[in-house]
Amino acid sequence: MTKRQHYRPVYARTRWARWRHRLGWLLILVLLLGSIWGGLMWLRWRSASVVEGFNIRGVAVSQNDGYLDFAALQNDGLKFVYMHATQGASYTDDNFSSNYERIIGTSLGVGVVHTFSFSSSASAQAAYFEKTVGDSIGNLPIAIQVNYYGNYTDKTIAVRQARQKLRALVTKLTQDYDRKCVIWSTPELMKQVVKPAIKQSSLWLDTTNTHHRSKRVLFMHYSDRAVYQQNGTRQEFSGLIFNGNSAQYNQVVAESLN
């Protein structure tokens, strides 16, 4: 008598294959979500570590930020605001005047930013800044931002001329306003143009490597996505930190007002 063999129905094998396929995809999905969550946690930790220990925080604002409620920014913990004012010898930020008028009603520290032009002369830039800004320079050092723009790169700028223009501009504004300047730039341009031209002015560095900086670095721009409450919503700003404590910050303000 032939021994009877037991066979699993074909539909049972098919059903198991489907479940095994689903479990495989579920495992992949769990691993993917875990990686995303871990990445987000690392980014959050990284962002927190960049500003850890820096209690004097601010933002840089321009017309791109729209109408601003400076009292709300102050209530959210900000200590100072830098406002973009002029660029080169012919451009003015559309919101500068109105922003400046409204921020005076707060206790925020106030500074103004002039964006350096590689093509305009130092005298033309200084004259335009003084005509546009007048005495509305706040109570912080005047910031001069030096960045590549348009067709200007490390390969195309005339380095020696750029250094001479920057030095002349800083000298002119410092003398005319009796106010120190701070030079805002990237590490690359700091090395190429700023430091060889300017030996004493304070520096403002674009960097996320914020710790253990020299005292010459007065401010750091650490993010373009610093979030603060604005008009009842969360808005992203150019986040700034002051490289020092409250006493040192108050000293900078006092020196600017003397």
Q: Taking residues 65-90, report their average pLDDT.
A: 96
Residue 44 has pLDDT above 70, yes or no: no
CA max distance for the chain: 116
What tens digit of pLDDT does each residue of 128-186 get? 999 999 999 999 999 999 999 999 999 999 999 999 999 999 999 999 999 999 999 99
Q: Taking residues 83-87, report their average pLDDT.
A: 98
For residues 254 and 4, the model is more confident at 254
Residue 43 has pLDDT above 50, yes or no: no
pTM: 0.82
3-state secondary structure of 127: helix
Residue 89: half-sphere exposure toward Cβ, Cα within 13 Å: 12
Backbone angles phi, psi at 121, to 5 degrees: -70, 160
Neighbours of 121 (CB within 10 A): 15
pLDDT of residue 65: 95
DSSP 193: I
Beta bridge partners of 60: 82, 238
Residue 39 has pLDDT above 80, yes or no: no
pLDDT of residue 37: 61
Pairwise CA distance, residues 218 & 206, whole Å: 12
Q: Taking residues 177-204, report their average pLDDT.
A: 96
